[in-house]
Amino acid sequence: MQHKWASILHGVIVGLTVALMPAAAQAQAWPTAQPIKVIVPFTAGSGTDLVARAVFDQVSVQLGQTIIIENRGGAGGTLGVNAVAKAAPDGYTLLAHSSSHTVSAVTFSQLPYDAVKDLKAIIPLANLPNVLVVATAKGYKTAKDMVAAAKAKPGSFNYATAGAGTASHFNAERFKQAAKFEATHVPFKGGPEALREVLSERCDFYFVPYLPAKGLVEAGQLQVLAVSSSQRASALPNVPTTVEAGFPDSEFNFWVGALAPSQTPAPILDRLHAEISKALANPDVREKLARLGADPMPMSAADFEALIVKEIAQNRDLVKAAGIKVN
């Protein structure tokens, strides 16, 4: 009987070893001559796209391997995400996405993928701080000035976004909930339209990545009242965060990060984390990201995964609290 169980156990071990061999061999050989494709679920020239190109250009050099950035937009970024979620988990199809990933997870009721189970977090590439901007002509000097004005005339305030369900929408709603004031959501097709409406004073405020607003801020046409991220932006060291401005639980981090199909072998994911970390430490890459207004966001794969899970839970609560419509 003992011999029989030993034989069965031996068979199980051999079977597992054989099953694991292809993945191990595949991971060891990665990358070969096959190009690596990084899908960005937004248009070329977007913040996510520019960050991805700055980082993966350097990763390509380090690996001695062609890396192709493919822009596959549509359906709020979910088309591109689904393409990666369904791709072969071999390290040759990756995703460069933003914190919009954790927004889509709760604003689309029937996604063809699971934002957590079907994708594996690798590493954040950068944090792109959103700034709270108003027309300089409004005369507000601080975020508290703006909130006080909104509370003084309930129902009179509105805010612009780059579209319903976008990061700019959730950022504004998170601030509204924390600051406890009323403002009507006015969605636009994209960031340029939203900026134009704030500039014209038809919209009262807008949370936008700093880079698109930089020229208007430097020209004195827009005023930055606060930064939404957890830490101050290196590009605006004298501007307080929304929390420092007096509004607890108002922070909103707009990150850009790399992800892969969930069944990608651990050795490949570890190698990707190491190579991307090395690229992020490269002086040329750091300079490119700084020009984009992007700040470093060093994090382990496990911590990045935990951040995604946490943000999805926070966004789900925000949808309920703010009554945000789910598609």
| pLDDT (0 to 100) of residue 12 | 45
Which residue, among 119, 99, 95, has the nearest Cα to 38 in the 3D structure? 95
Quick one: which of 206, 188, 186, 69 has its CA closest to 131?
A: 206
Question: What count of other Cβ atoms lies within 10 Å of the Cβ of residue 7?
Answer: 10
Residue 34: CB atoms within 10 A of its CB come to 12
Q: Identify the architecture of domain 33-128+254-322 in CATH.
A: 3-Layer(aba) Sandwich (3.40)
pLDDT at residue 76, as a whole number: 79
Which residue ranges in the chain fall short of pLDDT 50? 2, 5-6, 8-10, 12-21
pLDDT value of position 8: 47
- E strand intervals along the chain: 36-40, 67-71, 93-98, 119-127, 130-135, 158-161, 184-187, 205-209, 222-227, 255-261
130-227, CATH topology level = D-Maltodextrin-Binding Protein; domain 2 (3.40.190)
State residue 22's pLDDT score. Answer: 56
Residue 207's DSSP bridge partners are 132
Question: What pLDDT, on a 0 to 100 scale, did the predictor assign at position 167?
Answer: 86
Rounded distance between C-alpha atoms, residue 210 and residue 205, angstroms: 14
Q: Quick count: other Cβ atoms within 10 Å of Cβ 86?
A: 12
Q: Where in the chain is the domain with CATH 3.40.190.10?
A: 130-227
Q: What pLDDT shows up at residue 120?
A: 98
| Neighbour-count burial for 247-265, b at 16+ CB within 10 Å, e otherwise | beebbbbbbbbbbbbbebb
Where are the domain boundaries for CATH 3.40.190.150 in the chain?
Answer: 33-128+254-322
Identify the residue whose tokens are 């998170």. 174
